[in-house]
Amino acid sequence: MTMRNLPGCLRNGTPALFLAVFAAVAALPRSLSAQQQPEARPAAEASEEKAEDAAAPAKREGILVDMDIMDTHGIAKPKRKRKSAEDEVTMPDLKPEDAAVTVEGETLTWGALLEMASLHVAKMRLPPSISELSEEERKSMMTQLTMRRVYELAGRFAAKAMLAHEAKRQGAKLLPETVESMERQVFNKLTLNKADAMIAAYKKPDSFFSHEFTNSLYILAFRDQIVRPGVKVTSEDIKRAMARVNATNALYVAENEAERQSMLKHREKIAKGEEDFAVVADEISNCDSSLYGGVWGTFSKAKLHPNLWNVAVALPLNELSQVVETEYSFHILKVTAKQYPVGVKEGAEGVEPVSVSISHIERDKKEPIPVLNEEETRKKLIEVRTKVEMAKRERKLRETVKVESPLKIDLSMKKNPAKKSKIVPIDPNEPSLPLKLK
């Protein structure tokens, strides 16, 4: 997982703690490999003969890493489709010591899984409007949020455990000093950011983190020691890949313009009352705020992209912005509140608010792929083909390895009962902390 993989809503408005922990995660694979490998991108995947079929589950590079635990979700009551009873996810009747997921003899307990999911939910900043809900509604909402994390984490544990056990079967080795070094780097980052509750949970025996961390390192070893050495690249492969990068960039420009025009049309229809803001957010927005009718959260100037901040500050309350573009995404904003310094009246001339509360509809942009020289392209192709091979092996494991769980974990790439998005293949570059920390 790299910054390029993050959805636009996180890259345009992201709390500092997430960025710090993300940096700790991203540092791990670089320390494990003596040779830096450039980041693989979809255009290089397209250079592979029939790579689209071989790597169908790898269209997105990396498992979703629970990014939105740091998002600022709101509680809105928009005009949207009412959830049916089938959509509601209830808390299972399990004891802490009961097995939540078992893969190849490796068991994650319900206590460890629930603890990590609860820590994620505790990091959410819920708006004051939560007080408007009844106690039963608040309890139901927190159960839904917690179970959503439970399914995400359970699916990730199962997928990583499969690959880790395959790595062991094929002889991948971990050096104790490497494990200690990586663990030290991660905890140092967390300590600097005073994430004491996370640290305490991670250090417990058989915690979610202990499984996640070890399995992630085995996946890296599997990639570097078993899979990558067998990957070959020819000069013809390099020429084809360089040509396709240029073609793909041209396609991205066209797709981004089509996305912009689509957002303009939605904005016009919402302004005319032909569409409802919350319903459009629910149906098309790439941000997790879509689950709450587009309610994104409250942001200070330092934590919001300048393009979005400048528009939000000038925008009258509850009015639609024009389509706002950043290098990552397109947005339609609606500012629901502005917070000013103590003693300053709202709208005082020359005084900016200290923070703004925003709802938005967000669509990600396709970012141009850097044009590389031949040597850089060769390295990238090696990395892409390694990922394709990893994805093929993971897919085979998903089809053959038995996962035992009282939860409805679906490893067939279909929709998870507690989440909109799909379980996607693990990025071997990312021995992620349980934090994606959309």
Alpha helices in 332-430 (DSSP H): 374-400
Most confidently modeled range among 153-162, 199-208, 409-418: 153-162
Domain range annotation of the chain: 14-39+60-230+386-404, 236-364
Q: CA-CA distance, 222 to 135, in Å (whole number)?
A: 49
Greatest CA separation for the chain: 69
Could you list the beta-strand ranges (E) of 277-345.
Answer: 295-300, 320-325, 329-339
Higher pLDDT residue, 126 or 311?
311
Predicted local distance difference test score (pLDDT) of residue 127: 66
State the average pLDDT over residues 19-30: 44
pLDDT number for residue 205: 81
Q: What percent of the chain has pLDDT over 90?
A: 51
Residue 383 above 90 pLDDT?
yes
The pLDDT, as a whole number, for residue 262 is: 97
- Check whether 349 has a pLDDT greater than 50: yes
C-alpha R_g of the chain: 23
Interaxial angle between packed helices 110-122 and 208-221, expressed in degrees from 0 to 180 and rounded to the nearest 10:
100
Which pLDDT does position 187 carry in this prediction?
82
Q: Is the pLDDT of residue 203 over 90?
A: no
Using the structure block, give the residue that is written with the tokens 């960025």.
Answer: 19
Instruction: Report whether 14 contacts 308 (CB < 8 A).
Output: no
Distance separating alpha carbons of residues 231 and 64, to the nearest angstrom: 26
pLDDT at 361: 97
| The pLDDT of residue 100 | 95
Tally the residues of the chain: 438
Confidence band for 211, pLDDT divided at 50, 70 and 90: very high
The whole-number average pLDDT for the span 41-63 is: 34
More confident site: 298 or 427? 298
Q: Between these two residues, 28 and 321, which has the higher pLDDT value?
A: 321
**Under DSSP, is residue 415 helix (H, G, I), strand (E, B) or coil?**
strand
Is the CB of residue 259 less than 8 Å from the CB of residue 365?
Answer: yes
> What percentage of the chain carries pLDDT values higher than 70?
72
| Average pLDDT in the chain | 77
Give the ranges where 33-134 is alpha helix by DSSP (H): 42-46, 51-54, 110-122
Structural class in CATH, domain 236-364: alpha beta
Contact 17, 122 (CB under 8 A): no
Question: What are the structure tokens assigned to 106, written together?
Answer: 């490796």
User: Mean per-residue pLDDT for 209-216?
Assistant: 91
193: tokens are 């950011």
Question: What does the pLDDT look like over 287-315, one tens digit per residue?
Answer: 989 989 999 999 999 999 999 999 999 99
Residue 358: its H or E element: strand 355-364
Q: Average pLDDT for residues 172-192, to the nearest whole number?
A: 86
**Amino acid letter, 244:** R
- What residues form DSSP beta bridges with 298? 357
Query: Could you tell me how far CA 79 lies from the centroid of its own chain?
Result: 27
d(CA 150, CA 372): 41
At a CB cut-off of 8 Å and minimum separation 6, what does 225 contact? Answer: 171, 172, 173
What is the mean pLDDT of the segment spanning 167-188?
89
* Residue 148, pLDDT above cutoff 50: yes
Over residues 276-281, the mean pLDDT reads 96
Mutual orientation of helices 235-272 and 277-284 as an angle, nearest 10°? Answer: 160
Residue 175: which pLDDT band, with cuts at 50, 70 and 90?
confident
Lowest mean pLDDT segment, chosen from 28-32, 65-69, 142-146, 233-237? 65-69
